[in-house]
Chain A
Amino acid sequence: MATLVASAQKANRAEQKGPTLSVRMRRGFWGYVFISPWILVYAVFGLYPLLLSFYLTFFTYSFVTPDNYVFVGIGNWIQGLLDPLFWQSVLNILYNQVIFIALTNIIGLATALLLYKVTNLGRLFRTIYFMPVITSVVVLMAIGGYLTSPTGPVQSELVRMGLLSAPVFWKFNLFLPMPIIAVINSWKWFGISTVIYLAGLFAIDTQYYEAAAIDGASGWQQFWAIALPALRPQIFFLLVVNVINGLQMFTEVFTLGYDVYGGPQHQALTPVLYLYAQAFDRSNIGYASALGLLLAGLIAILTIIQFRFLSTNEGE
C-alpha cells in the first residue's frame, strides 16, 4: 500500500511539471467520454442503492403499504443482531462452506496433480471436469437432488452395498442438508480449482523437482516441500473468492424445494434466503436491508481476516 501511494505521488509530481490541468483535461476529453457509462451506471445502480439500503434500515417499509414509512432508528439493526433465525442461517452457511471449501480445494488439487502427471488426453479430462462449471445451478441442483433422493441411484446403491441400512430423507434431516448441498456444489465447482491449481503447478520451475529427486526426495515429499508452498497464492485466491461467493448462497437452497425459511427446522436457511423471506414474504424491507448490511459486514470481516493471516504479498 505504502509503495502504491508513493508511486502515485511521484506520478502526480511528474505530471504537474507538464501542461496545466485544464489543458490535460481537454486532451483527455475522450477519456471522460469513454469512462462516463460506468460512472453513470455505478452512480445510479451502485452508489444510490447503497445509500438507499443504509437509509432503509432506519425505517419500517413495506410494498403493501408504501406510504406507511415509520422511523425506527437502529431498531432493525438491534433486531437483526438478536434474531436467532439470522444467526442460525449464518451458522448453516458456515457449516456448509467449511465442507464445501475443503472438498473443492482437495478435489481440485488432487485432480490438478493427476493432470500434471499426464502427457496424453489431459485436455480431454480438463474439459470434462470443467463441464459442470458452465451448467446452470437450477439444472444441477435438480439432478443432484434426484440422484441423492431416497429413491435415487446413490442411496439405492449405498443400501445395496450395505453401507446404509435404510434410505434417508436428508432434505428434512436436521444436520444433513448443508453437507449434502456442499457435496453437490463441490461437484459443480471443483473444475475451477483444478484449472487454477494446474496453472500454478505448470508455473513451478521443474529444476526444483529435479534437484529434490537427486537428493532422494520422494514424490510425496516434493509435493509438501515444493508444490504446496508454491501454490499459496492460488490457495489464498480460491479461499477469498469462495468465502465471498459462498456466503451469498441462494439459488441452491431455493430451487431444491425448501420454503423461504429453509425447511421446518430452518436446516437449509441461508442468510440470503432469509433476507429474501423477510423482503418478499413478510415485506419487511427495512429489516431485510439491515440483514443485507450485517451479512456484508460479516463477509468483510472474514475477508480481512484472510488477508491478514494468509496473504502472500506482504513483501512486495
Chain B
Amino acid sequence: MLPSKKFTWATAIVYLLLVLGSLVVLYPFAYMLMNSVKLGPEILNSPTSLPTKLTLTGFQGVFATLNMLLLFKNSLILALSITFLNTFLSAMAGYAIAKIPFPGRKQIFGFMLATMMIPGVLFLIPTYVMMYRLGWVGHFYALIIPSAISVYNIFLIRQFVIGIPNEQIEAARLDGANDIHIFTAIILPLSRPVLATVAILSFIGSWNDFLGPLLYLNKPETWTVQLGLYQFQSSITGENLQQLWASMVMVTLPLVLVYFLLQDQFIKAFANVSFK
C-alpha cells in the first residue's frame, strides 16, 4: 500500500496504468481539437484519422455565423456579476455568523444548514412562475439576483473565518474600529484562500450553467456560450461539421487555460480538499 521510492516492476505498472488513464481522459479533448481543423467531409468519412490538411475554416465559419463575441460577453457579464456579488455577500454573512455574537445567530445558522438539504429541482417551476409574473424572463437579473448569495459559500467562509484569532478582531475593536472596518481591513484580506474557492465555484457554476439560461434567456441577443453552442449544434450541416468542433474548442479553451494556471485552487474548490 505504501508509496515506494525505488524502482520495481509494480511501480512501472502503476505508472503505465496512470498514463493509460490520462490517455482515456485526454483523448476526447484531442479528438475535439483534431476535428476542429479538419474538413467536414473528412470528419464524416474518416472520423478517427489525423487531418490530411489543416484548415481554419471551422473557426472562420463560427465567427461568420455565430456572434461568438456577444456570447462570450453575455456569459462574462453573468458569471462575473454572480461571482462578485456571491463572494462578497457570502463573505459578509459568513463573517457575521462566525464572529459577531448577535442574538438569533445560532438559529439562523441552523436554518441555513437545513435549507442546504432542499434539492434545487423544487425551485425550478415556482421561480419561473414568479419571474414570469414579475416580467423578469429574458433579463440577466433573473439569473443574477437569485444567485447573489448562497448558503454553501456562507458555510465555507464561516468555517474559515472562525479560525481567525479573536484577539486580532478585539484589538481592532478597542482601537475604535466597527464591524465594517474589521470586515474590510482584517477579514477579507485574511480570507483570501477561501474567497478564491468560493469565487471559482461561483464562476464555473454560472459559466457552465445550461438550464438557467435555457429557461430565462429566450432572446438570441441574451444567449450565453453554452446556450449558443447548443442552438448552434442543431443548425450545422455535414460539410461544415468542423464549425461545430471549432465552436466547442472556443468555448472550452479559455476555461482550460485558466484551470491550468490555477489548478490547485480549482481542485480544492470542487473537492474541498487540499494537498501539501
Contact = CB atoms under 8 A, between A and B. Distances in A.
B23 to A, nearest CB: 9
B63 interface: no
A229 interface: no
B130 interface: yes
Interface stretch (A79-87, A173-181, A219-227): A219-227
A25 B102 contact: yes
Contact of A28 (B26, B105, B208, B211): B105
A24 B125 contact: no
Contacts of B260: 127
A231 interface: no
A63 B132 contact: yes
A248 B145 contact: no
Contacts of B48: 153, 156-157
Given A30-B100, A117-B4, A209-B2, A38 B149 contact: yes
- The main secondary structure of chain B at its interface with chain A is helix
Interface string A61-83: 10100000000000000000000
Contact of B123 (A8, A37, A49): A49
A294 B11 CA distance: 50
Interface size grouping (class) on chain A: 35 or more
A143 B251 CA distance: 13
Contact of B118 (A41, A119, A137, A296): A296
A116 B92 contact: no
B146 A151 contact: no
B119 A295 contact: yes
Interface in B230-276: 230, 233-234, 244, 248, 251-252, 255-256, 259-260, 263, 266-267, 270-271, 273-275
Given A31-B96, A38-B154, A296-B119, A135 B179 contact: no
Interface in A18-65: 21, 24-25, 27-35, 37-39, 41-42, 45-46, 48-50, 52-53, 56, 61, 63
Contact of B126 (A34, A195, A250, A289): A289
Contacts of A32: 96, 102
B103 A21 contact: yes
Interface of B: 1-5, 11, 14-15, 17-18, 21-22, 24-26, 28-29, 31-32, 44, 47-48, 89-90, 92-93, 95-97, 100-103, 105-106, 108, 112, 115, 117-130, 132, 145-146, 148-149, 151, 154, 178-180, 183, 204, 207-208, 210-211, 214, 226, 229-230, 233-234, 244, 248, 251-252, 255-256, 259-260, 263, 266-267, 270-271, 273-275
